[in-house]
Amino acid sequence: MEDFEERALDLAPHKPRCWFRYVDDTFVIWPHGPDKLKDFLNHLNSIQQCIQFTMETETEGHLPFLDIDIYMRPDGSLGHRVYSKSTRTNLYINAASHHHPSNKQAARSTLVHRARALCDQDSLHAKLVLLGDVFRKNRYRQIHRVLNHRLNIRYPEDKQDSVAFLPYVGSIFNRISRMLSRHNIKSVGLPPKKLSSFLRSVKDSLELRTSGVYTIPCECGKVYIGQTGRLVKRG
């Protein structure tokens, strides 16, 4: 991909001000107007038939890139904050659900850590206020303590060598966990199984049919290897 980028940018009649790529997502600042931008997209798609780009431009000063919403400040500089889809429900592990407390804490800490890592100083406060509303919606208390947690947790040097995965059954799990901790064994609570895990499916299983790479042996002793987009059956 690096060779493709170098060739594409060298041959482009008009070049972007910046070009940042992560895997197959690219962020570009284009200073030459919308018409030249379409020409640049056509230029990229003309280099190799197997590498085709699509394009999304900013809308009202906002452009999502990976998990970040990049926006333009009034002074023309760029800011960044957490990108959230318009279809989000803000439903997470409910405080009243039958899950181990560490699972509930991890869900909240992940959201706070994501906000602190992806939001700039201008948007961090608003995001934390929004997370407080989300936690209340999911019936959590002690909101401010979670939001103000620094997240730079120091782990003890003496690491526990053994881990026991146990079904989380309230006070029973807690008693077993305390006993195991005396022997340097960490307990991990597993959520209860769903009803579907105990019931057999009455549907007939389907044979593996998928597109991909196939081989055809030849009488001469050689093998032909090909690739197809059509469905094939495993022999």
Task: For residues 24 and 47, state if they share a domain.
Answer: yes
SS3 per residue for the chain: CHHHHHHHHHHCCCCCCEEEEECCEEEEECCCCHHHHHHHHHHHHCCCCCCCCCCCCCECCEEEECCEEEEECCCCCEEEEECCCCCCCCCCCCCCCCCCHHHHHHHHHHHHHHHHHHCCHHHHHHHHHHHHHHHHHCCCCCHHHHHCCCCCCCCCCCCCCEEEEEECCHHHHHHHHHHHHCCCEEEEEECCCCHHHCCCCCCCCCCCEEEEEEEEECCCCCEEEEEEEEEEECC
Is 31 inside any structural domain?
Answer: yes
Task: For residues 76 and 99, state if they share a domain.
Answer: no
pLDDT for position 205: 58
Is 208 inside any structural domain?
Answer: no
pLDDT for position 209: 59
Task: For residues 78 and 93, state if they share a domain.
Answer: no
Task: For residues 52 and 35, state if they share a domain.
Answer: yes
Task: For residues 27 and 94, state if they share a domain.
Answer: no
pLDDT for position 211: 62
Reply yes or no on whether the pLDDT at 31 is more than 60: yes
- Name the domain boundary from 30, 50, 82: 82
- Name the domain boundary from 54, 82, 110: 82
Is 213 inside any structural domain?
Answer: no
Is 234 inside any structural domain?
Answer: no
| Contact yes or no for 123/79 (Cβ under 8 A) | yes
pLDDT for position 155: 45
pLDDT for position 154: 47
Amino acid, res. 49: Q
Task: For residues 15 and 36, state if they share a domain.
Answer: yes
Which range among 7-21, 117-131, 168-182 shows the weakest confidence by mean pLDDT?
168-182
Indicate the number of domains in the chain.
Answer: 3
Beta bridge partners of 162: 185
Task: For residues 78 and 92, state if they share a domain.
Answer: no
What's the pLDDT tens digit per position in 139-196?
988 787 777 764 444 445 555 468 888 888 778 888 888 888 888 888 888 877 777 6
Task: For residues 58 and 100, state if they share a domain.
Answer: no
Predicted TM-score (pTM) of the model is 0.59
| Helices 2-11 and 34-45, packing angle to 10 deg | 130
Is 9 inside any structural domain?
Answer: yes
Average pLDDT, the chain: 83
What's the pLDDT tens digit per position in 200-224?
665 665 555 566 677 788 888 787 7
Task: For residues 62 and 92, state if they share a domain.
Answer: no
Residue 232 binned pLDDT confidence (cut-offs 50, 70, 90):
low
Domain span at residue 139 reads 86-154
Please give the full DSSP string across 96-115, using - where no structure is assigned.
TSSS-HHHHHHHHHHHHHHH
Is 62 inside any structural domain?
Answer: yes
Residue 62 binned pLDDT confidence (cut-offs 50, 70, 90):
very high
Residue 101 binned pLDDT confidence (cut-offs 50, 70, 90):
confident
